[in-house]
Amino acid sequence: MNVFRTGVLLSALVALFGVAGYALGGQGGMVIALLVAVAMNFFAYWNSDSIVLRMHGAREIQRADLPWLHDMVAQLAQRAELPMPRVYIIEQDQPNAFATGRNPENAAVAATTGLLRQLSHEEVAGVMAHELAHVKNRDTLIMTVTATVAGALSMLANFAMFSSMFGGSSDRNSPLGGIGILLMAILAPLAATLVQLAISRAREYDADALGAKICGRPLWLASALDRLDGASKRIDNHVAEANPATAHLFIVNPLHAHSVDSLFATHPPMRERIARLRAMAGGGDSGRGPWG
């Protein structure tokens, strides 16, 4: 995601904070909200990767813990001309993965235990290559910052509702009165929608294409996506369901199709992603490699 788009997104989030603050407390509330937004962006820049990893219970591993995975990531990082990222495992049955970090020098890749159990080593390589493509494209900063700030917006909306229900001063301070509280009630889904719409679907297509080049086998990633898509619809990811603003971080949508959040897709259609990868293979990809 380029610098201009990143700036537009962060500006939109700050503006949304300002609107929310004005609805709750007039000009004073707007100033406070904008200051909070600036502080939140600064905090997210330095800490959002660790926040997301802790949120999903990720545990960092060393080579001695899982040599084949650690060596695989190291080989792929070398092929991508990237520094070796930190490697994390998430105790989660749903097979999935994501990357995070403010830049390639501070990047991390995380895979669920379900992914490591259910996919072949070739398919895992395709998934890890996709995540390293996000790192190389510098998608990870904006992905983690938006997840953190969107979560803060949801918290602000919940606080407004709580204050109103228990006789707080929000109605008196808001220039819009009860309407201001009503606006806060819809900020949480609005924040999720903002994240989902602002993070372009092209990001996933680009990461698929570059990931296929990094691992050298487009069909590895195509096969992995096919299996992940089916499994993610059958297996719950309760942490992701409770924190939908992080859904866009994952290689496939961790939220179930029946969830209200699925009305605003965070990922491109899986059939199209797989079709593009198969077209890249062009019949010349045997699907076999050094991780077989």
Residues 208, 133 within the same domain = yes
Helix (H, G, I), strand (E, B) or coil at 50: helix
Query: Is the confidence at residue 256, as pLDDT, over 90?
Result: no
Cα–Cα dist 61/129, whole Å:
18
Backbone angles phi, psi at 267, to 5 degrees: -130, 155
Into how many domains does the chain fold?
2
| Residue 281 phi, psi dihedral angles, 5° rounding | -65, -40
CA distance 191 to 239: 18
Give domain status of residue 57, yes or no: no
Q: Are residues 166 and 243 in the same domain?
A: no
pLDDT at position 38 is 67
Q: Tell me phi and psi for residue 85, to 5 degrees.
A: -80, 165
Q: Quick one: pLDDT at residue 277?
A: 96
- Which of 156, 182, 198 is at the close of a domain? 198
Do 75 and 107 have their domain in common?
A: yes
pLDDT at 202 over 90: no
Active site residues: 131
State the pLDDT confidence band at 161, using cuts at 50, 70 and 90.
Answer: low
Choose among 118, 55, 119: nearest CA to 88. Answer: 55
Cα distance between residue 107 and residue 100, in whole Å:
6
Looking at every residue in the chain, the average pLDDT score rounds to 80
Choice among 34-43, 75-84, 88-97, 281-290 with the minimum mean pLDDT: 281-290
In a domain, 291, yes or no: no
Q: φ, ψ for residue 97 (rounded to 5)?
A: -165, 160
Note whether residue 288 is domain-resident: no
Domain boundary among 198, 217, 242: 198
pLDDT in tens, 74-120: 999 999 999 999 999 999 999 999 999 889 999 999 999 999 999 99
Each residue of 109-152: pLDDT tens digit?
Answer: 999 999 999 999 999 999 999 999 999 998 877 766 666 666 66
Q: Is residue 268 domain-shared with residue 208, that is, in the same domain?
A: yes
* Residue 109 three-state SS: strand
Q: Is 272 inside any structural domain?
A: yes
Instruction: Kindly state the average pLDDT of the residues 170-194.
Output: 59
250 shares a domain with 133? yes
DSSP state of 265: -
- 173 with 208, same domain? no
Considering only residues 57 and 146, tell me which one the structure prediction assigns the higher pLDDT: 57
Domain membership flag for residue 219: yes
Residues 148, 26 share a domain: yes
- Residue at which a domain ends, from 198, 214, 238: 198
Mean pLDDT calculated for residue range 279-286: 72
| Burial (CB count within 10 angstroms: exposed 0-12, middle 13-18, buried 19+), residue 2 | exposed
How does residue 262 score in pLDDT terms, banded at 50, 70 and 90? very low
pLDDT attached to residue 210:
96
pLDDT number for residue 126: 98
Is there a domain that residue 42 lies in? Answer: yes
Burial class (CB in 10 A: 0-12, 13-18, 19+), 186: exposed
Residues 152, 129 within the same domain:
no
Task: Please state the pTM of the whole predicted model.
Answer: 0.77
25 shares its domain with 97 = no
Of the listed ranges 92-106, 108-122, 160-174, 249-263, the least confidently predicted one is 160-174
Secondary structure percentages of the chain, helix, strand, coil, to 5: 70, 5, 25
CATH (domain of 239): 3.30.2010.10
Domain housing 260 = 62-139+201-281
* Claim to verify: residue 130 and residue 236 sit in the same structural domain: yes
